[in-house]
Every structure is written in C-alpha cells, then in structure tokens.
Structure 1
Amino acid sequence: MKILLLEHPRDPCPERCNDVANTPLSSSLLTGYVAGMLESRGHEVEIVEGYLEGLSYEEIRQRIRAVEPDLMGVHLVYHWKIDYELFTFLEQLKREEFLPYITVYGFYPTFAFEEILQACPVIDSVILGEPELTFAELAEVLSGRCNSIDIAGLAQRDKYGRIRYTRRKPVEDLDLLPFPVRTEAMFGLPEVNIQGSRGCYGRCTFCYINPFYGQRSRWRGRSPENIVAEIDKIISERGRKEFYFTDPNFFGPGQKGQKRALHLASLLKQRNVQFGIEARVNDIHDETIGALVEAGLRYLLIGLESGRDHSLKRMNKMTTVAQNERALRILRRHGIEPNIGFIMFEPDSSLKDIRANFEFLRRNDLLKNLPVTANVLYHHQIILKGTPAYQRLQKEGRLKTLPASTYEGMAAFADPQVAVLADIMRQITNFLFRRMGSIWSGREEEPRNARERYARLNRLLVEWFETVLHALEIGEKFSDEEKEAFVGKAKKAINDILYFDSKTRCSKQR
C-alpha cells in the first residue's frame, strides 16, 4: 500500500511569537515513528516535509500527484488558529480524487477530534494518542489484509454521522517500536532529534503530555542499549554526533530513573557525542549530572515555572523553590547554564506571586540574558484542551474559547492589577521579539556593538517590569491611555537602541 505522510505548512502568528510552543517537542518524531512502523509492515511510505522545506500547497499537490497514495496521514499541528487553508486544500484533493482516504494525528487532533471532523468532512478519521499501531491497523484494513472496522485509537463517523472512538493503551515496551524514519530536512536541523522515553510521572495542571497518551499513562523509557543502537546507526550512516532528546522528562522516576540515566551516560561517553535534554528539577542530582556532562551533555531545559511555593503547589508541580535553586546550583557547578520553563502569569496569580517570581529570577541570575529575560518577564499560562487547568477553569465557568475552536481556552486574571502588568509586558516583549526575530534567526546582520545594545535592552526590560509592578503594589491605577503611553515609550526606546546608529550612518552617506 502506498502511504503519504504530510507535515503541513505552518504560518507563524506574530501576536503569539512570545508564547510557549503550541505542540510539545516530542511530537517532532511522530511522523518518523509512523513511517518506521508502516515500513516494517511492508508498506511504501513517502514523507512530505511541507513545513521544514517551506513548500507551498501547490508544490505539495505535485508531490501527492507523483505518489498517488492510497492513504494520506497528516500530522496536524495547531498554530494559534483553525487551519482552514489546510482543510480547503484537503477538500480540493478529495474532490479531484487524488486521495481515497485521509487520517490526521498529533497532539492537537487528539483533543480536538470532534471539531476537526465537523469542520472538515473530507477527513475520514482522527488517530488519538500514540499513532504507530493505530495507523498500522488502519492501513491493514484499507489494504484488505484485515476486515475489522473497530480500530482502537481511531475516531471516525459511523453510518449515521455520529463520531465513535475508543482509546488505545499506550505502547508498553518502547524497544519494540522500529526506529523512526528521518528525512533530509530533519537531518538539516542543528541536532538530530531522538526520543528516549514517553510520558511523565508528574501531573502538572498546565501540561497535556500524559492526557495525550491516555488516562492511565505513565513514564516509559527505552532501554539505554536500544537508544544507543539508534545513535550508532545515525553515526554510521550520517556521521552526526549532535543529538537532542525530545523527551519531556529525560529521567525516569526515583532511584531507578537515576540509575538508568547513569547507565546511558556510560554508553554515550564511549561515543564522543554532544546532546541536550529536558528534565524536572527534582531529578537534577550532582552525580548524575556530572556523569552526563562527561558523556557530552551540553544543553538542558528545566521547568522551574515559579519562584513561590504557593504557586508551585497550585500548578501541582510537586517541586519546591528550594529544589529549583538547588538544581540551578548543581547545573552551574557542572558548567551548564540551563534554559528554563517559567510561567510568570497564571490566571490566579496575585501581585504577591508576581513579586516572588521576579525576586526569584533576580537573585538566581536569570535576568541577565536578553532572550531569557524577554521570555520570563512575560510568559502567561497557555490553556489547552486536555490539561487539568482547562478542565478546572471550564468547571468553574471561567474558561472562554473562541467561536472557531474550543481547543485553546482563555481565562481572565483573577486580579485586575496583574492583568495590567501582563498586558503591558506582553505588548513590549512581543514588539521586541518581532524586532529581534530576523537578527536571532540569522536573516539580518547584528547591529554594531550588539552586545552593549542587548545589555541595555535587557536592563530596560527589567526596569520597566519593576516600575509597573511597584506602581501597582502601592495602589496606582493605569488607564488605557496610560498603558498605551508606557508601551509606546518602551517601543521607541527599543527602536532607538537597535537602529539609531544605522539610521544616522545612512543619513550621513546620503
């Protein structure tokens, strides 16, 4: 059976440029794992990298025509809107009889399958959760190898138009999965993405990692030997030695997780690789981090989320501020300056919470790098369907959704003063990210004396945040006009710092 898997184009949303990722990094290998499973079952598989290759829909259409697939799967990614352009494209393909059957998979469709099936009638089914086995069974049915119409993990319409589905249990032994297929575009990334585990033993209210896998999901790890076998294959075939583990929680729970990490470190050390990971702060231990650094660990992201225990408890982080600070000390002692996950603004944040967050960031030297400062001084909690936070706010009657989609929810801040600070910082940081985007991406040359300019911008961001926070703490009010004026001055200062000298030089040349 000929099967085409599509990574569809995704348009950036300028207003959301400073928000957290709209799909977990672990989703980056979904298509590769599906392809690996299908090829192991004897199917002919083609992956079209519409996103990474920057393809237009017309170029994608030509690729599909060349393959003439019997089945197409689309890794459907939410990018802050309902993708009517993609839906229209699929409708045209079905109308032109290019595609007998279309299924979609991913984090977004797992939680929004009902509205997707209603919005795009030509989508025949939605795969819920882990896609490999469900997709393989669907291919068996459509190719005539199997007669079953009830496939666990598949949401589809019955003959009356009603949507029927059952959830599939997560894969118990990840070592049994074929290695993911990687395209040339995937190998064009700075690091080779690799997945060492799935799920998380945490239960954070803002996270939908575990709900994606199912109600009873848990952390599951591949064996170190299986991981290294995949790494050896990549080194042998591609000569690549830079990797990034896409696991939301690299370490497994407790001592067993630490022991597994130490064993993996001993195997990686023999291969002279470099790699990055993501982890919970309570899993950062001196011995394990030391061993991983010796094995090639260079990058690490930890979810600090807050500098106040009260807020961490509200998020059900199962960690403390003391653990946050201990993790930072251990990582820095081993030469790792971590990237951090941080939620400055929650729907229930108080000014006291915000002040505690700010002081935590400052005393732990987390406000000295411009990209980090811009991120942490405005990061509000994204409320996506499937998370405990979404369910709680919905139950409390506080959740608001857009008419076009129930996938992303919004909730007004319980404290209107917090809302003022959040609005001001959102506008300023979004403006900064738009201005800096072409520089950070390498499309535009850095300005002269870039380091000094960025340091000035960094100091100003901290100053603006503290100025507004202090004003709100002593009871000052900000009218809409006052907010607009404050943001306007900040934008002018950003422009002056980044572009004043270049404009002056241009004027002199003229």
Structure 2
Amino acid sequence: MKILLLEHPRSIEPERCNDIANTPLSSCLLSGYAAAMLNSRGHEVEIVEGYLDKLSYAEIKNIVSAWKPDVLGVHMVYHWQTDRALYGFLEQVKNAGLTSYITAYGFYPTIAYADILQECPAIDSVIVGEHEITFVELAEALSCRVSSVNLPGLAVRDSTGVQYRRREVLADLDRLPTPVRTEAMYRLPEVNLQGSRGCYGRCTFCYINPFYGAGSRWRGRSPDNIVAEIDGIIAERGVRDFYFTDPNFFGPGQRGQERALRLAALLKPRQIRFGIEGRVNDIHDETIAALREAGLRHILIGLESGKDSSLKRMNKMTTVAQNEEAIRILRKNGLEPNVGFIMFEPDSTLEDIRGNFEFLLRNDLLHNLPVTANVLYHHQIVLKGTPAFQHLQQQGRLQLERHSSYEGVALFADTQVAVLADLMRQVTNYLFNRMAGIWGGKVPEPENAREKYARINRLLIDIFENALETLERGKQWDKEQTQAIVRQFEKEINEVFLQI
C-alpha cells in the first residue's frame, strides 16, 4: 500500500510561549518508527514534514494529490487548541477523493481519541498508544479489505459510539527497525535518538505512562543496539551531535546504572556529543562521570519543587535533598543542568512558594535569564489522561479550556498564590515574546548583552520577591495593581535595550 505520514503545521500562541512543550520530546520519532515498520512489511511510505518544512495546507494538499495514498496517517500534536485548520484540511482531502482512509496517532490522540473521532468525521480511526504494530496490522487489514473494527490498539466508530481495546506494549525494543529520518530532521542541531520508552515514575502531571497504558513500565533498548544505530548515522551523515529523547534515560535501580555505564563505555571511543533527560534519584557520581567522558554535554532533570510537601503531592517519589545532591553531582562533573520546575502547583501555599524561591537561590539557579524566567513562573499544565486531571476534576477544581476539552485550568487552593502566578505569567510572557527573535537566532544580540541580560534577570527576581513579601504580609491587590507592575516591567526592559 501507499502510505503518507503527515507531521502537520503547528502554531505557537504568544500567550503560551512560556508553557512546557505540548507534546513529549519522545514523540518526535513516532512517524519515523511507523515508516520504518511499514517499510519492513513492503509498504511504500513517505513522511511529509509540514511543521519542520513550514508547509501550508495548500502545499500539503498538492503533495497528497500527487501521491494519492491509500492511507493518510496523521501524527496529531496538541498546540493549545482543537485544530480546526487540520480538521478542515482532512475533510477537503477526503471529499476530494485524494485518499480513502485517514488514521491519527500520537500522544494527544491516544488520550483524546473519542473527542477527535466525534469532531472530525474524516478521520476513520485513531491508533492508541504504541503505534508500530497496530499501524502494520491496520495496513494489512485494509489491503486485504478485511474489517479492522476489532483490531487491538485501534479506536474506531461503531453503532454504539467508539470501540477500542488496548494493545500490549512491545517487550523487546531491539526488535524495532531503525526509524526513518527525513532531511528536515537532519537539519535540527542534534539527531534525535530513542533509547528507551516509558518511565518507572508515576508523577501526577505526566502523561508518558498513560500514553503507553495502565501497567506499562520502563523498557530500554540494549546498549549494543543503540550504538549500532549511532554508527549507521555517523557513517551515513558524519554527524556527532545527538539527543536522547527518552523521558527517563536511566532505567530503574542498579540495573539501570549498569546499563548506562555499559552504554557510556561503548560511546566513549566514538567521540560524540549528546544530551539526556532523567530523574534526580538516578544521578549517581560514577555513572555521570562515565557519561561525561563519553560525550554527555547537557542534561535535563525534573526537580519540580524545593519543598518536600509539593514533591509528595506530585508523587515525584524524590526529595529536596535528592534534588540538591543531583545538582551537586552534575556540577562536580562539569555539567550545568537544565531543570524542570513547577513553581505554581494547584495546592501551593505561600509557604511552598517561599520554599521554592529559597531553594532556587540556595542552589544558584537564578543567574541565567532564560532559566530564571522559566522557573519563576511555571505553573502546572493539566492535561487529560494524567492523574492530576482526574483528581482535580473529581474535586470540582478544574475548568476546561474553551478551545479544548483536552486541557484544564486548575483553580488554585490559595487565592494569594493565584495573584502571584497571574503576575509572573504576564511578566514572563512579555519577556519571552520580547526575546523570541534573539533567543531564536533571528535577531542579533544587543551590545553589552551580558550586562543587559543580568539587569533584566535582577528585575525579574526583584518583582517576584517583592510581590511574595507583600502577599506574605497579608496585603491584597487587584488586577489594576498587577497591570501597573507589568507595565513598569515592560518600560524598564525597553529602557535597558535602548541603553548602549
């Protein structure tokens, strides 16, 4: 069969510029793995990079028209809205007879499959969870004109609504073929790799494990299998910069550390540079030192909070002491961590916010402007399918966004925390939009950039600290006072940039 896989166009809303990535990084290879698996079964497959290649829907329609695929697969990504533009495009394609079957796959449709099938009649099915085997079986069923209604892992409409049952996840990831990578993917600064799937953690805000299904677990490819893929990429492209998209690079416990050490030993002679993500309790001195020697250059760790009470509410299964030990180990080995941090979670108190702030100061995490802007605002994004979404909805504290039932806005338990969160959201959104061109490499940095960034960084810290102290004294303020602070911040930033 001829199968076209679409990475659809996506937009970034200015008011959401400081929100976390709307789909896990590990989803970036979904189309590549689907293409590789389908190719291995004899199907003709092409990936259309509508997002990375900045294609319009008119251009994509021309590609679909020329190709006339038997199946159009759409990797659906949530970008802070119900994607009416995508739905309209799919309706056009279907009505024009350019394809007879459309299926969607990805993190977002896995959780929101019922809504998607209801809202977009052009979509015939949604692949739920791990998609490779389901996609192959779907293609085989369609090519043989056999009904796919009872196919595990496939959500479809029937006379009673939507029918679906989970498929077991792959036990051995080494069985997967090497993912197809497009030219657009090779233009990224680093080549993305996937060394594992899932996570042994159970954080309330995360939907990695809900994607794979109840009872899913961390699964890792063997170090030899990973290195074979890297060797192939080096031989074909000559690139030596990689990023492991795994939400948890390290497997659990001692076995996880031993696997990481084995991988480090294999990577070291290849002289590559790479980045990873991991949990703080997996940051061990011996392992990090070995990975550093093997080429580890950057790492993201999910600190999330500087208060044990908050970490417990998020079910992080980590402590503040472990957070600080992880930072110490990484810096000892010459690595400044990129950190995940949730300053404002729904049940935060001013005491929690104070603890977070002092933690950031104590651990010297407020000296870099992009990081400072990030950690002094971030609230907890609440997406459907996560334990946090279910818990807040049961408590009646979740307001669904007007543009999508997939995302909820949590009502803060503490109204003073809500005031501070609103202030910092507006302040940091302005900053991120003001700096977008510079940080995106499209606009040159100003003269004396380091000094100017340091001044803005200090402004941010002062606004946060002064507002927190005011609220701690019990003083109330209204939206007009918030707007006055935001306007003053905007004025001072512009004055900084005007100075030579």
- The TM-score bracket by the shorter chain reads over 0.9
Paired with 1:411 and 1:463, the residues of 2 have a C-alpha distance of 27
1:44-123 equivalence runs, <5 A: 44-123=44-123
In the alignment of these two chains, the number of paired residues is: 500
Offset at residue 222 of structure 1 (A): 0.3
Query: Partner residue of 1:233?
Result: 232
SS in 1 for 2:270: coil
Paired with 2:397 and 2:475, the residues of 1 have a C-alpha distance of 27
Query: Partner residue of 1:334?
Result: 333
The answer to whether the Cα contact below 8 Å between 2:149 and 2:156 also exists between their aligned partners in 1 is no
- Identity of matched residues, %: 68
**For each residue in 1:130-159, what CA deviation from the matched residue of structure 2 results, as whole angstroms up to 9, or x when unmatched?**
11011111000111176654110000011x
Offset at residue 94 of structure 1 (A): 0.7
Query: Partner residue of 1:343?
Result: 342
**For each residue in 1:83-142, what CA deviation from the matched residue of structure 2 results, as whole angstroms up to 9, or x when unmatched?**
000100100111111010000001100111111111101100001001101111100011
Query: Partner residue of 1:124?
Result: 124
Query: Partner residue of 1:507?
Result: none
Paired with 1:61 and 1:80, the residues of 2 have a C-alpha distance of 24
The answer to whether the Cα contact below 8 Å between 1:115 and 1:405 also exists between their aligned partners in 2 is no
SS in 2 for 1:414: coil
**For each residue in 1:23-64, what CA deviation from the matched residue of structure 2 results, as whole angstroms up to 9, or x when unmatched?**
000000000000010000000001000000000111111111
The answer to whether the Cα contact below 8 Å between 1:117 and 1:123 also exists between their aligned partners in 2 is yes
SS in 2 for 1:298: strand
Query: Partner residue of 2:35?
Result: 35
Paired with 2:372 and 2:275, the residues of 1 have a C-alpha distance of 21
Paired with 2:328 and 2:408, the residues of 1 have a C-alpha distance of 36
**For each residue in 1:353-400, what CA deviation from the matched residue of structure 2 results, as whole angstroms up to 9, or x when unmatched?**
000000000010000000000000000000001111001011111111
Paired with 1:356 and 1:29, the residues of 2 have a C-alpha distance of 38
Paired with 2:16 and 2:59, the residues of 1 have a C-alpha distance of 27
Offset at residue 66 of structure 1 (A): 1.6
The answer to whether the Cα contact below 8 Å between 2:138 and 2:148 also exists between their aligned partners in 1 is no
Paired with 1:495 and 1:435, the residues of 2 have a C-alpha distance of 9
Query: Partner residue of 1:171?
Result: 170
Q: Is 1:487–2:486 an aligned residue pair? A: yes
Residue 71 to residue 276, structure 1, CA distance change in 2 (3 Å): same
Paired with 1:485 and 1:175, the residues of 2 have a C-alpha distance of 57
SS in 2 for 1:352: helix
The answer to whether the Cα contact below 8 Å between 1:19 and 1:379 also exists between their aligned partners in 2 is yes
SS in 2 for 1:150: coil
Paired with 2:413 and 2:93, the residues of 1 have a C-alpha distance of 47
Paired with 1:330 and 1:284, the residues of 2 have a C-alpha distance of 7
1:253-402 equivalence runs, <5 A: 253-402=252-401
Paired with 1:226 and 1:500, the residues of 2 have a C-alpha distance of 54
Please, which runs of 5 or more residues in structure 1 have no aligned partner?
Answer: 502-510
Offset at residue 280 of structure 1 (A): 0.2
Offset at residue 499 of structure 1 (A): 3.4
The answer to whether the Cα contact below 8 Å between 1:106 and 1:128 also exists between their aligned partners in 2 is yes
Residue 156 to residue 293, structure 1, CA distance change in 2 (3 Å): same
Q: Is 1:431–2:459 an aligned residue pair? A: no
TM-score by length of 1: 0.97
Query: Partner residue of 2:23?
Result: 23
Query: Partner residue of 1:8?
Result: 8
Paired with 1:223 and 1:318, the residues of 2 have a C-alpha distance of 26
TM-score by length of 2: 0.99
Q: 2:67 is matched by which residue type in structure 1?
A: V
Residue 146 to residue 260, structure 1, CA distance change in 2 (3 Å): farther
Q: 1:257 is matched by which residue type in structure 2?
A: G
SS in 1 for 2:254: helix
**For each residue in 1:293-316, what CA deviation from the matched residue of structure 2 results, as whole angstroms up to 9, or x when unmatched?**
000000100000000111101110
Paired with 1:117 and 1:498, the residues of 2 have a C-alpha distance of 49
SS in 1 for 2:65: helix
The answer to whether the Cα contact below 8 Å between 1:344 and 1:377 also exists between their aligned partners in 2 is yes
**For each residue in 1:410-457, what CA deviation from the matched residue of structure 2 results, as whole angstroms up to 9, or x when unmatched?**
111110000111011100000000000000111111111111000000
Paired with 1:427 and 1:410, the residues of 2 have a C-alpha distance of 16
Paired with 2:108 and 2:56, the residues of 1 have a C-alpha distance of 22
SS in 1 for 2:47: strand
